[in-house]
Amino acid sequence: MSKNKAIVLLSGGLDSTTTLYYAKDKGYQCHALIFDYGQRHKRELKSAVVVAKSAHVPHHVIRITLPWKGSSLLDKKIEIPIRKSLKGIPSTYVPARNTIFLSFAVSYAEVIGAKTIFIGANAVDFSGYPDCRPSFYEAFQKVIKEGTKDKKIKVLTPLIDMTKAQIIALAMKLKAPLSLTWSCYLGGRKPCGICDSCKLRGKGFSQLGIRDII
């Protein structure tokens, strides 16, 4: 049954949660990978664990202690930017984050014999991170082919061309528990509503004409 095993990268946000439910719906036997990489708050991480449990999939939390920061998502001394336009790469960019996450996913996939890795990257309603674009995933696919024993593990990005509204609509169709997810770059009890991530989420719900259910 290993041909149906999949690793799903799970951050606890809207996109990765939808991706997990999408993979489950497609019949994959999912294994969630969650990363504690020194985020400025643990709210998202808690959501990831709760989502994995609600989806009844096994999960691992990988703890990574980076001796460097270089991102406002890691360094509390740098303020989270409030941007009018989403052009350019903001300070919330975490250098090589998805490369690190995928590397662990590939390692895990090889060990348990999973042939598929799902990541909820999106290059439409996104913050401009280079490691969310299709060309990055095409390049990473080549790394798997050249650098692993099991050359055939595929990285799938089912949400990459969707708008946030389309992702939310898909999540609702799949009954993904969006109320358990956390998208805000800041911690706290309620989402700030004005960071890039909150804005993108808000735009998606408002395009659908419905209220966010967080």
Give the footprint of a copy of itself on this chain (CB under 8 A): 60, 62-70, 89, 93-100, 102-104, 106-108, 110-112, 130-131, 133, 135-136, 138-140, 142-143, 145-149, 151
The response to whether 17 counts as a known ligand-binding position is: yes
Q: Closest CB to a copy of itself among 26 and 115?
A: 115
The response to whether 10 counts as a known ligand-binding position is: yes
Query: Listing from the earlier edge strand, what are the strands of the sheet with 5-9?
Result: 29-36, 5-9, 116-118, 154-156
Look at residue 101 and give its three-state secondary structure: helix
Q: Closest CB to a copy of itself among 143 and 169?
A: 143
Residue 51 burial (10 A CB sphere; 0-12, 13-18, 19+)? buried
Tokens of 47: 């959501």
Q: Is 87 within 8 Å of 126 (Cβ atoms)?
A: no
Q: How many residues make up the chain in this entry?
A: 214
Residue 49 CB, nearest approach to a copy of itself (Å): 14
Q: Closest CB to a copy of itself among 106 and 176?
A: 106
The response to whether 14 counts as a known ligand-binding position is: yes
Residue 63 CB, nearest approach to a copy of itself (Å): 6
Handedness of CA 59, 63, 64, 69 (dihedral sign): positive
Residue 214 CB, nearest approach to a copy of itself (Å): 30
The response to whether 206 counts as a known ligand-binding position is: no
Rounded CA-CA distance 139/146 in Å is 11
Rounded CA-CA distance 88/103 in Å is 26
Q: Closest CB to a copy of itself among 28 and 93?
A: 93
126-to-53, 94, 172, 214 alpha-carbon distances in Å = 27, 14, 20, 20
Residue 211 CB, nearest approach to a copy of itself (Å): 35
The response to whether 99 counts as a known ligand-binding position is: no
The response to whether 128 counts as a known ligand-binding position is: no
Residue 147 CB, nearest approach to a copy of itself (Å): 4
Q: Is 141 within 8 Å of 148 (Cβ atoms)?
A: no
Q: Closest CB to a copy of itself among 28 and 137?
A: 137
Binding residues for Zn(2+): 184, 192, 195, 198
Binding residues: 10-20, 184, 192, 195, 198
